[in-house]
């Protein structure tokens, strides 16, 4: 655990500056279909500081990925639409940019890596070609210089004999190698924000660790920020400085990683932690959160978690709890729950 | 956790001397397929036949060294009249000329003199061509006198005009008498012995574009040799250099062909002739031209040259084709005439006229593929007809694929109202009977405005692109959901770049196959259109229109030979298309 410890030290030093790189303010992304309106992201706000890693965690369908795609403005329109909110990147609202301005930011300042390394690389081009194209487009390098850059990036992400691998096709590489190529491609233009949408989910456990370490190392080298989207709490504990817990299109809790892991406040977060397997008490059934995630077409009124919450009251059904600062926390810790005190007894 | 992620153990780690790039893999795949090689070879030869049709089958000789007695005699006879023509103008003053100048006459006095002088120059040139150099001074003196007349007339010196003019007239008379041609074998000492004039009628009629394709195809057909020499000798099998030289090689080939066509144009004039008929053979047969040396192409018959007495003659290597040289009757087979049993009357027939340079009447190679209703040699027409069919096939396929791919990309990638609009338009187009649409469009095209061949190409492409568009759209709908498309956009690529560089190459496999089929259907459509009289106009031929020359089973050669060629072309395109599709798909090779 030495890496995480040193990392947190350096991060604390950095936080002195604490310049926000990315701020989401009440972002709402809806999908319109014949069945109605799916409110996939419904009022998400969080802040990502320069140089830090923000983990976004939540169940499938809670809007994590749609939030990330909204930041990149890669929501398919129609049926999707960003109906409200602001995405401030270095204080600039990305939603007000033209298509051409946004293209200059994508891949250059904000890069993204995807969950499925099997399908995220174009099968008809060599991996080198795909990096070369990106670099030529954004950095205006010549083809030869771009090829050198591609080889350099491939060696940086730990691909052996990059001089020959650069001419390989994606199908000639293993899953882990492909994810490394994806990272090399995303990093090739030196972005200041890397959005990693479940980068390790499709990989086996040893490769997962390697990939996450690689991202952490690259982050240390370049000082970029990382928006890490995952449903894996272990991954969050390993790499994130702050955590945003999402449920049904909303952020329900936001805190520093140590703080959240020590004292989760929201009933949903508490439930999540409780459903982790406990190595100390094997042989027992895992506790689960009862019920299912509500459909994005019909969210319950008031607090969206109330249908699955054991301490829900009438108040929860009537009014939606705002994301409020927790009084006795040392760091920034906000929770959206009416019954914080009761939640501690869970 | 702190272990550095060099991932040394992840790759196969084997050192590789070189890595194959995409085209290395593609060529390797293609080289492994014998059917591809066979198909390509046959297609290359078919296209060679089409491109070299003027060299293979033509009634123009390659080289002709001949005395044109008629032209020479006419030139000698005309020297007097052309002198009078010059003098008629020269004897007027400039003012007089301008005063009663006709409406079409040259605008200036000098222009009028030049116009009268130029026939004299060309007549003298014709004569000089046929005469040895020692006879030249007298003729040149004659031209000099005419020039003097012109100079004097311009100076307004009427006296000199008169005196020199008389001298020129006298000289013209002398030349006519003394320079009369002496026919070969004639005993008299009178006149001049003429020498043959060398000309290259076939090459002179070949346009620079034909020369370009001929040179290009010569390089293509010999490509294995060039490629071997360049790669092994010049580049010493260094794969890196071979790869870098790939583009220069292709562009070099084009450049050599272009240079050849320019040299050709400067050597032979590079006129664009229609090739349908040339006067050489009949002039040689009738004796107007007397050849001392003549080299004809292997099939010395023009594609529009008719031998009416030989209409529907079966291939000359069959027994039913033998004809009697004197009566012109067939000797065997169903067309052997039967005498009336009572009167013994035989219907008369015209004996076949054997023209200069043609094989004998019953030689096996006179009409290898028989003749059509006008006695035109069918093999020659097939060779020339391939030009139209293969051009229409490949151009229409290329054009409709481009149109279809563009619309399919737009519909599939953008979706929404773009998709709806394009798809409804496609459905409307597909619900109309394509053949009638094509015929209607052809009926409204003016053949003087646009060559019917290109009109067919455009019309076929504009009507048949819908299938390709639907294919591409389907592929796009499938690929659009793939993560690499989102990834491409996440890397900041524009929509156009994403469509054409990232999605389209993944969607090309079915398109390539359908393009190969489109060549076939283009050839067939052209044949139907030509048959109905809306396509190429006679005497031009295409394979399709040749099939329709006769529907009688007696005339089997009419349907069999062009039909076989269409079948061969279509099959080869399908074989090649199949192989190329597989080779271009990187997922299929490891």
A71-96: per-residue pLDDT in tens? 888 887 767 888 888 888 887 888 88
Interface contact A108-B492, CB threshold 8 A? yes
On whether any CB of chain A is under 8 Å from the CB of B238, the answer is no
Report pLDDT digits (tens) over A294-320.
Answer: 777 888 787 888 878 777 777 777 778
A209 contacts B416? CB cut-off 8 A: no
The residue length of chain B stands at 590
- Nearest to A27, CA basis, from A93, A82, A99: A82
- Which residues of chain A have a CB within 8 Å of the CB of B11? 159-161, 165, 177
Q: Which of A119, A123, A210 sits opposite B587 (nearest CB)?
A: A123
Question: CA B419, CA B488: separation in Å to the nearest integer?
Answer: 22
Q: What is the pLDDT of residues B359-409, one digit of tens each?
A: 888 888 899 999 998 989 999 999 999 999 999 999 999 999 999 999 999
- Per CB-CB distance under 8 Å, the chain A contacts of B489 are 72, 74, 106
Residues A31-54, mean pLDDT to the nearest whole number? 83
CA distance B5 to chain A (A): 6
- Asked if A124's CB is within 8 angstroms of B492's CB, the reply is no
Task: Give the confidence band of A271 by pLDDT, cuts at 50, 70, 90.
Answer: confident
Span A139-143, average pLDDT: 82
User: Is there a single domain that holds both residue A67 and residue A137?
Assistant: no
Read off the pLDDT band of B589 (50, 70, 90).
Answer: low
Q: Does A256 touch chain B (CB under 8 A)?
A: no
Judgement on whether residues A37 and A128 belong to the same structural domain of the protein:
no
Q: In this model, does residue B333 exceed pLDDT 90?
A: no
Residue of chain B with shortest Cα separation from A99: B494
Residue B490 touches chain A, beta carbons under 8 Å = yes
Is the predicted pLDDT of residue B558 greater than 60, yes or no?
Answer: yes
pLDDT per residue over B425-450, tens digit each?
999 998 988 888 888 888 888 888 88
Hey, what domains does chain B have and what are their CATH numbers?
A: 69-184 (1.20.120), 206-268 (no CATH), 316-366 (no CATH), 378-588 (1.10.3720.10)
Among A103, A185, A217, beta carbon nearest to B5: A217
Which residues in chain B have Cβ-Cβ distances shorter than 8 Å to A72? Answer: 489-490
pLDDT, tens digit, 9 for 90 and up, residues B269-311 = 656 666 777 888 888 888 878 888 889 999 999 888 888 888 8
Condensed to tens digits (0 to 9), the pLDDT of residues B71-87 reads: 888 888 888 888 888 88
Identify whether A231 is part of a domain. Answer: yes
Whose CA is closest to A150, among A107, A111, A185, A114?
A185
The torsion angles phi and psi of B304, rounded to 5 degrees, stand at -115, 10
Q: Give yes or no: residues A37 and A54 share one domain.
A: yes
Torsion of CA B253, B256, B260, B266, to 10 degrees: 140
Q: Is residue A104 part of a domain?
A: no
Kindly report which listed range (A90-104, B139-153, B197-211) carries the lowest average pLDDT score: A90-104
Report in angstroms the alpha-carbon separations of B215 from B55, B221, B313.
13, 10, 36
- Smallest Cβ–Cβ distance between A137 and the set B19, B482, B492 belongs to B492
Q: What is the pLDDT of residue A329?
A: 67
Residue range A8-26: average pLDDT? 64
Contact B2 A122 (CB under 8 A): no
pLDDT higher than threshold 60 for residue A326: yes
Rounded CA separation B159/B152 (Å): 9
Contact in structure between A66 and A41 (CB atoms under 8 Å) = yes
Q: Please report residues of B whose CB lies closer than 8 A to that of A180.
A: 7
Min Cα–Cα distance to chain B from A100, Å: 8
A6 and A83, same domain (yes or no): yes
Q: Return all residues near A270 (Cβ < 8 A) that are at least 6 apart.
A: A264, A343, A346
Q: How many domains does chain A have?
A: 2
Minimum CA–CA partner of B17 in chain A: A164
- Residue A220: is its pLDDT beyond 90? no
- A218 within a domain of the structure (yes/no): no
In a domain, A217, yes or no: no
pLDDT greater than 80 at residue B199: yes
Q: Are residues A202 and A53 in the same domain?
A: yes
In degrees, to the nearest 5, what angle opens at C-alpha B106 toward C-alphas B103 and B111?
165
Given a cut of 70, is residue A17 above it in pLDDT? no
Number of H helices, E strands in chain B: 23, 3
Whether residues B1 and A161 touch (CB distance < 8 A) is answered with no
pLDDT in tens, B579-588: 888 887 766 6
Of the ranges A197-201, A264-268, B80-84, B126-130, which one carries the lowest mean pLDDT score?
Answer: A197-201
> CA B303: distance to chain centroid?
12
**pTM of the predicted protein model:** 0.72
Domain shared by A170 and A205, yes or no: no
Residue B42 has pLDDT above 90, yes or no: yes
Query: Measured between beta carbons, which residues in chain A are less than 8 angstroms from residue B490?
Result: 72, 74, 106-107, 111-112, 114
Q: B487 — contact with chain A (CB < 8 Å)?
A: yes
Lowest average pLDDT, out of A325-339, B447-461, B517-531, goes to: A325-339
Residue pairs spanning A and B at CB distance below 8 A: 128
- pLDDT value for B49: 93
Share the mean pLDDT of chain A.
80
Indicate whether A302 belongs to any domain.
Answer: yes
Spell out the residues 6+ positions from residue B495 whose beta carbon is closer than 8 angstroms to its own: B413, B414, B489
CA atoms of B336 and B194, how far apart (whole Å): 48
Inform me whether the pLDDT recorded for B420 exceeds 90: yes
To probe the interface with B, which of A160, A175, A199 has the most B CB atoms within 10 Å? A160
**Which residues does chain A have within 8 Å of residue B488's beta carbon, measured at their own beta carbons?**
122
Does A237 lie in the same domain as A90? yes
Please tell me the distance in Å from A183's CA to the nearest CA on chain B.
Answer: 12
| Cβ(B287)–Cβ(B281) below 8 Å | no
Higher pLDDT, A278 or B486: B486
Contacts of B507 in chain A (CB under 8 A): none
- Judge: A122–B15 Cβ closer than 8 Å, yes or no: no
- pLDDT tens for A240-250 read 888 888 888 88
- The yes-or-no verdict on residue B198 having pLDDT over 60 is yes
Q: C-alpha A121: how far from its chain's center?
A: 20
**Partner-chain residue, chosen from B1, B492, B505, that has the shortest CB–CB distance to A106:** B492
Higher-pLDDT residue of B142 and A199 is: B142
Domain that holds residue A259: 1-99+198-211+225-279+288-346
Instruction: Residue window 54-113, chain A: list those with CB within 8 Å of chain B.
Output: 69, 72, 74, 78, 103-108, 111-112
Same-domain status, A207 and A320: yes
pLDDT the model gives residue A82: 82
Same domain? For A206 and A343 the reply is yes
**Residues A181-203: what's their mean pLDDT?**
82
**What mean pLDDT, rounded, does chain B reach?**
84
Measure Cα distances from A270 to A230, A335, B174 in Å: 17, 12, 128
Return the CATH number at A22: 3.40.50.300
Note whether residue A120 is domain-resident.
yes
Same domain, A204 and A306: yes
A148 within some domain: yes
Does residue A206 share a domain with residue A77? yes
Interchain CB distance below 8 Å, B6 and A160: yes
| CB–CB contact B489 A106 (8 Å) | yes
Please indicate whether, in this complex, the C-beta atoms of B490 and A111 are within 8 angstroms of each other. Answer: yes
CA distance A275 to chain B (A): 25
State how far residue A289 is from chain B, nearest Cα, in angstroms: 31
* Among the listed residues A31, A56, A63, A60, the one whose alpha carbon sits nearest the alpha carbon of residue A249: A63
User: CA-nearest residue of chain B to A79?
Assistant: B416
Flag whether pLDDT at B64 surpasses 70: yes
**Residue B484 predicted with pLDDT over 60:** yes
pLDDT score for B397: 94
Q: Is the pLDDT of residue B16 over 50?
A: no
ipTM higher than the 0.95 cut:
no
Token pair, residue B350, equals 């015209």
Mean pLDDT of A44-57: 85
Span B96-124, mean pLDDT? 84
Q: What pLDDT shows up at residue B444?
A: 87
Whether residue A124 is contained in a domain is answered as yes
Q: Are residues A32 and A149 both part of a single domain?
A: no
Is the model's pLDDT at A5 over the cut of 70? no
| Subunit contact B484:A169, Cβ cutoff 8 A | no
Q: Which of residues 197-216 of A touch B (CB under 8 A)?
A: 209-210, 213-214
């Amino acid at each position: 655990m030495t890496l995480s410890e040193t990392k947190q030290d350096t991060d604390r030093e950095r936080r002195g500056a604490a310049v926000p790189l990315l701020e989401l303010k009440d972002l709402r992304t809806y999908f319109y279909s014949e069945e109605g309106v799916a409110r996939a992201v419904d009022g998400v706000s969080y802040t990502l500081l320069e140089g830090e890693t923000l983990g976004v965690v939540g169940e499938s369908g809670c809007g994590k990925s749609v939030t990330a795609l909204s930041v990149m403005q890669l929501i398919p329109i129609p049926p999707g639409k960003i109906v409200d909110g602001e995405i401030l990147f270095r204080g600039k609202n990305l939603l007000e940019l033209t298509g051409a301005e946004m293209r200059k930011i994508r891949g250059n300042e904000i890069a993204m890596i995807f969950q499925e390394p099997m399908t995220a690389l174009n099968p008809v081009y060599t991996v080198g070609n795909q990096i070369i194209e990106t670099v030529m487009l954004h950095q205006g390098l010549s083809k030869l210089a771009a090829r050198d850059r591609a080889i350099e990036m491939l060696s940086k992400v730990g691909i052996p004999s990059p001089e020959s691998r650069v001419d390989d096709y994606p199908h000639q590489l293993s899953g882990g190698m492909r994810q490394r190529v994806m990272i090399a491609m995303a990093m090739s233009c030196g972005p200041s924000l890397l959005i990693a949408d479940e980068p390790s989910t499709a990989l086996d456990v040893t490769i997962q660790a390697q990939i996450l370490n690689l991202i952490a190392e690259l982050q240390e080298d370049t000082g970029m920020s990382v928006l890490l989207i995952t449903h894996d709490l272990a991954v969050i504990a390993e790499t994130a400085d702050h955590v945003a817990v999402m449920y049904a299109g909303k952020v329900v809790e936001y805190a520093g990683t140590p703080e959240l892991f020590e004292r989760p406040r929201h009933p949903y977060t508490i439930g999540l932690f409780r459903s982790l397997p406990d190595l100390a008490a094997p042989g027992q059934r895992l506790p689960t959160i009862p019920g299912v995630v509500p459909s994005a077409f019909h969210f319950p009124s008031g607090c969206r978690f109330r249908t699955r919450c054991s301490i829900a009251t009438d108040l929860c059904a009537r009014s939606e709890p705002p994301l409020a600062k927790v009084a006795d926390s040392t760091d920034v810790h906000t929770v959206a729950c009416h019954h914080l005190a009761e939640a501690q007894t869970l | 956790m702190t272990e550095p992620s060099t991932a040394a153990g992840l790759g196969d780690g084997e050192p590789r001397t070189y890595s194959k790039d995409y085209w290395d893999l593609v060529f390797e795949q293609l080289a492994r397929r014998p059917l591809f090689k066979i198909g390509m070879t046959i297609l290359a030869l078919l296209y060679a036949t089409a491109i070299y049709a003027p060299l293979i089958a033509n009634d123009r000789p390659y080289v002709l060294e001949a005395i044109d007695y008629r032209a020479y005699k006419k030139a000698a006879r005309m020297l007097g009249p052309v002198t009078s023509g010059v003098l008629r103008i020269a004897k007027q003053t400039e003012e007089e000329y301008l005063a009663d100048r006709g409406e079409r006459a040259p605008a200036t006095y000098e222009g009028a003199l030049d116009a009268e002088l130029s026939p004299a120059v060309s007549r003298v040139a014709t004569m000089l061509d046929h005469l040895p150099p020692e006879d030249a001074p007298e003729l040149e003196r004659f031209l000099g006198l005419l020039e003097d007349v012109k100079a004097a007339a311009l100076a307004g010196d009427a006296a000199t005009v008169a005196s020199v003019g008389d001298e020129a007239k006298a000289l013209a008379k002398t030349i006519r008498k003394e320079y009369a041609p002496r026919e070969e074998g004639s005993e008299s000492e009178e006149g001049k012995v003429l020498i043959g004039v060398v000309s290259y009628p076939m090459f002179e009629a070949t346009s620079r574009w034909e020369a370009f394709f001929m040179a290009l195809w010569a390089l293509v057909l010999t490509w294995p040799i060039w490629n071997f020499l360049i790669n092994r000798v010049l580049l010493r099998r260094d794969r890196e250099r071979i790869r870098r030289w790939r583009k220069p090689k292709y562009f070099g080939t084009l450049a050599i062909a272009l240079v050849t066509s320019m040299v050709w144009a400067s050597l032979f004039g590079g006129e664009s002739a229609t090739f349908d008929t040339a006067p050489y053979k009949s002039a040689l047969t009738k004796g107007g031209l007397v050849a001392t040396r003549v080299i004809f192409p292997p099939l010395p018959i023009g594609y529009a040259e008719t031998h009416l007495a030989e209409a529907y003659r079966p291939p000359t290597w069959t027994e039913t084709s033998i004809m009697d040289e004197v009566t012109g009757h067939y000797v065997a087979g169903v067309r052997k005439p039967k005498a009336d049993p009572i009167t013994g009357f035989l219907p008369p027939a015209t004996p076949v006229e054997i023209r200069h340079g043609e094989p004998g009447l019953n030689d096996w190679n006179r009409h290898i593929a028989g003749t059509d209703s006008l006695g035109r040699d069918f093999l020659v027409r097939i060779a020339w007809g391939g030009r139209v069919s293969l051009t229409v096939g490949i151009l229409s396929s290329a054009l409709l694929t481009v149109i279809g791919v563009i619309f399919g990309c737009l519909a599939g990638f953008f979706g929404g109202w773009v998709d709806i609009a394009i798809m409804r338009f496609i459905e409307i187009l597909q619900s109309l009977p394509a053949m009638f649409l094509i015929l209607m469009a052809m009926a409204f095209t003016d053949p003087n405005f646009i060559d019917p061949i290109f009109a067919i190409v455009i019309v076929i492409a504009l009507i048949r692109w819908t299938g390709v568009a639907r294919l591409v759209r389907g592929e796009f709908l499938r690929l659009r959901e793939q993560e690499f498309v989102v990834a491409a956009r996440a890397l900041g690529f524009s929509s156009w770049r994403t469509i054409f560089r990232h999605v389209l190459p993944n969607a090309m496999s079915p398109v390539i196959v359908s393009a190969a089929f489109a060549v076939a259907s283009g050839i067939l459509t052209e044949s139907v259109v030509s048959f109905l009289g809306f396509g190429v106009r006679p005497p031009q031929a295409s394979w399709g229109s040749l099939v329709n020359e006769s529907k009688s089973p007696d005339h089997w050669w009419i349907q069999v030979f062009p039909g076989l060629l269409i079948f061969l072309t279509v099959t080869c395109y399908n074989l090649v298309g199949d192989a190329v599709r597989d080779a271009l798909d990187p997922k299929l090779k490891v």
